[in-house]
Amino acid sequence: MTTEFLTKEKKTELEQELELLKTQKRAEILERLAFAKSLGDLSENAEYHTSKEAQGKNEARIAQIEVILKHAEVVEASTDGTVGLGSTVILVKKDSQEEVTYQIVGNEEADFSAGKISFESPLGSALMNQQKSNIIRVETPKGTITYVIKEVK
């Protein structure tokens, strides 16, 4: 297992999700299973099979989160103006002057629609170790996009 890089916020979010899954969600599923068993014949009991499937998914997610947290390294943005994990970067597209803002995060946390890009993505890797005013070029399926780094936070 490789190291999973997380911000403090994402680590806290995963810990809270894990607690919820282990306590409240497990209890709900066990109640549904007990009710389904009380209905009798399990071979044709849709409620029972649905609950068993939910239980399997819940346990799989618990195991997944536990592995992520076990191998997690919490990262904080550097304060020296260099782009790294945890940094928020404001970019200006050279051709359109459109401004975009992204936070550089680990793979588990990446969510493009929320402005969080993986440090391993094409744009994320191009930004790593860069500084304000640097020009970067990123190859995309639609061609090369050139950005100027406006600000690093």
Q: Residue 122's pLDDT band (boundaries 50, 70, 90)? A: very high
Q: What pTM was computed for the model?
A: 0.78
Angle between helices 8-20 and 46-70 (to 10 degrees): 150
For 42-59, what is the mean pLDDT?
91
Helices (H), the chain: 8-20, 26-38, 46-70, 122-127
- SS3 state of residue 120: coil
Q: Which amino acid is at 107?
A: N
What Rg do the C-alpha atoms of the chain give, in angstroms?
Answer: 22
Instruction: Decide if 129 contacts 117 (C-beta within 8 A).
Output: no
Position 1 scores a pLDDT of 61
Lowest mean pLDDT, pick from 38-42, 47-51, 126-130: 38-42
For 79-90, what is the mean pLDDT?
93
Q: What is the mean pLDDT of the chain?
A: 93
Q: What is the pLDDT of residues 15-40, one digit of tens each?
A: 999 999 999 999 999 999 999 888 88
Query: Using CB atoms within 10 A of its CB, is residue 109 exposed (0-12), middle (13-18) or buried (19+)?
Result: buried
Position 92 scores a pLDDT of 97
Domains, the chain, with CATH or none: 4-74 (1.10.287.180), 88-152 (3.10.50.30)
